[in-house]
C-alpha cells in the first residue's frame, strides 16, 4: 500500500516559471490537502478538497491553484514561481472531511525558486 505519493521530491525553478506538484493517494480518501513547511512557522494550509470536484482555499492560497478531477489525485500548480515560494510542500489525505480523523502525509517535495 503506497499511501500518499508526491512527485517530484526535489525541484529548482527560476522566478516566473510554472510547475505542477503531483499528489496521488491509493486509500480512497475523500479529503486531500496541501501544506507548506517553513522553518519556525510549522505547516500552513494552502488548499484543500473534501471530494472530487470540490476545492477550497486554506491559509496561504495566493500564487497556487488546485483541481480535483478524481478521488486519487490532487495536483498543486504554481502559476508564476517567486522566491517566497521556496519551501517544502506536503500533500496529506484522510478518509473523510470530518474534524476527527488523522491526516496521512506524503514524503514532501522540496522546491527552490531562484
Partner 1 sequence: AQSVAQPEDQVNVAEGNPLTVKCTYSVSGNPYLFWYVQYPNRGLQFLLKYITGDNLVKGSYGFEAEFNKSQTSFHLKKPSALVSDSALYFCAVSGDYKLSFGAGTTVTVRA
The gap from C-alpha 93 to its chain's centroid, in whole angstroms, comes to 10
- Report strand pairing: 19-25 vs 4-7: antiparallel
x/- contact string, 7-26, with partner 1 (CB under 8 A)? --------------------
Q: Residue 16 Cβ, how far from partner 1 at the closest point, in Å?
A: 28
User: Which residues, listed in sequence order, are joined to residue 31 by a DSSP beta bridge?
Assistant: 94
x/- contact string, 30-69, with partner 1 (CB under 8 A)? -x-x-x----xxxxxx--x-x-----x-xx----------
Q: Residue 40 Cβ, how far from partner 1 at the closest point, in Å?
A: 6
Query: What angle (nearest 5°) sits at the alpha carbon of residue 13, between those of residues 12 and 19?
Result: 110
Amino acid at each position: 500500500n503506497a499511501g500518499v505519493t508526491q512527485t517530484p521530491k526535489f525541484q529548482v525553478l527560476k522566478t516566473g516559471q510554472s510547475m505542477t506538484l503531483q499528489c496521488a493517494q491509493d486509500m480512497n480518501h475523500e479529503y486531500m490537502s496541501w501544506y507548506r513547511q517553513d522553518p519556525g512557522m510549522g505547516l500552513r494550509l494552502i488548499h484543500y478538497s473534501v471530494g472530487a470536484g470540490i476545492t477550497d482555499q486554506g491559509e496561504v492560497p495566493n500564487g497556487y491553484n488546485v483541481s480535483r478531477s478524481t478521488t486519487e489525485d490532487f495536483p498543486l500548480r504554481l502559476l508564476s514561481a517567486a522566491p517566497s515560494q521556496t519551501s517544502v510542500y506536503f500533500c496529506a489525505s484522510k478518509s473523510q472531511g470530518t474534524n476527527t480523523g488523522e491526516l496521512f502525509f506524503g514524503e514532501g517535495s522540496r522546491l527552490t525558486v531562484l
